[in-house]
Amino acid sequence: MSKVLDEPLLIDGLEYCKWNRDLLKNAHRGGLNAIHVTVVYWENTEESFIKIQEWHKLISENKDLILNAKTSSQILEAKKNKKIAIIFGFQNSAPIANDIFLVEKFFNKGVRFMQLTYNNQTPLGGGCFESKDSGVSRFGEAVIEEMNRLGMIIDLSHAGKQTCLDAIKFSKKPVAISHANPKFFHDSLRNVDDEVLKALKNRDGFIGLSLYPYHLKNLGDCKIEDFCEMIKQLINLIGIDNIGIGSDLCINWPNEVVMWMRNGRWTKKTDYGESKDHNPSWPKLPNWYSKPEDLNNLLYSMMKNGIKEKDAIKIVGINWFNFMQKHF
């Protein structure tokens, strides 16, 4: 990797915030160097191009703070120029419908991550909420090949177990689970079991650890000490170089948006996702990770809780950078 400058490289591998200038200024003051941002969930093709246009407008209006990174070298450029590199990602394959040619069109607009599924079955593969996981489809294999060719990261965060294992096997480049935690920490539908984690490691894949309450032990009451113990156990399982932070931080949105994330347009009934108490609101965040700039605080919390300084520095940014360099 290129020599990183004096201060630690801080990269959040997934956030979905309603960004405005104040929020960007806070993230900037907190030292963030790059954020993989969610552009869409259930939006169709036309809506997704519009969302990208909206992001470019936000970047243009705040060009003193942020830039759109289409290459990993632009992350270091942003760091050098004291800006945040914004990396576009899709949390679903809905934008490409059944059209493989759209993958390149979205890539040319700056999209660098795409999930194969978002909880449900898609034309590409099975979601983690399905009772039966189809695995990766024929179309899914073709899209994986196209994403490899272009340098778009295959994200398996909401995929079912068999789909994860298939994608890890089929992809010629390492894949990511950008925001999830190990099941041994919290047995959530969205979290990942040891078999998938080991398969990831064996193919140089990557996991970004999530701070979303439904992925955490004791949910929003999760203690930082428990989170750090999980990290130490995960390091023992898959090594240090395959781990980063994908906070899945979702702030500054009305409650209607969390219901959009869960329901999209696929159901006329109300789906509450993993909320056991059918909560239609955003879940309570842990008090130690409730805003983008808390990534910097997490670095020091990890060191206070027995994680080596060099390992903590890798987890908050260097590992993500090295992984992204393999793709774009």
Which pLDDT tens digit goes with each residue over 62-73? 999 999 999 999
Q: Environment class of residue 238 by beta-carbon count within 10 Å: exposed (0-12), middle (13-18) or buried (19+)?
A: buried
245 Rama class: left (phi>0) / alpha (psi -120 to 50) / beta: beta
Residue 279: CB atoms within 10 A of its CB come to 14
Which pLDDT does position 7 carry in this prediction? 85
Which pLDDT does position 4 carry in this prediction? 39
Q: Find residue 36's DSSP bridge partners.
A: 87
Q: Which residues lie closer than 8 Å to 131 by C-beta, 6 or more apart?
A: none
pLDDT, tens digit (0-9, with 9 covering 90-100), for 174-217: 999 999 999 999 999 999 999 999 999 999 999 999 999 999 99
pLDDT, tens digit (0-9, with 9 covering 90-100), for 90-114: 999 999 999 999 999 999 999 999 9
- 328 has a pLDDT exceeding 90: yes
Which pLDDT does position 6 carry in this prediction? 62
- 243 has a pLDDT exceeding 70: yes
User: Rounded mean pLDDT of 162-168?
Assistant: 98
Domain at 11-325, CATH class:
alpha beta
pLDDT, tens digit (0-9, with 9 covering 90-100), for 36-76: 999 999 999 999 999 999 999 999 999 999 999 999 999 99
Which pLDDT does position 311 carry in this prediction? 98
Share of the chain above pLDDT 70, in %: 98
- 127 has a pLDDT exceeding 60: yes
What is the model's pTM? 0.96
Which pLDDT does position 2 carry in this prediction? 37
Residues present in the chain in total:
328
- 5 has a pLDDT exceeding 60: no
**CB 48, CB 28: distance < 8 Å:** no
- 12 has a pLDDT exceeding 80: yes
**CB 215, CB 180: distance < 8 Å:** yes
177's tokens: 């689970």
pLDDT, tens digit (0-9, with 9 covering 90-100), for 215-224: 999 999 999 9
Type of residue numbered 246: G
Separation of alpha carbons 69 and 78, rounded Å: 8
Mean pLDDT, the chain, integer: 96
- 3 has a pLDDT exceeding 60: no
pLDDT, tens digit (0-9, with 9 covering 90-100), for 139-148: 999 999 999 9
Q: Find residue 111's DSSP bridge partners.
A: 88
Share of the chain above pLDDT 90, in %: 98
Which pLDDT does position 173 carry in this prediction? 98
113's tokens: 């991550």
Separation of alpha carbons 240 and 234, rounded Å: 8
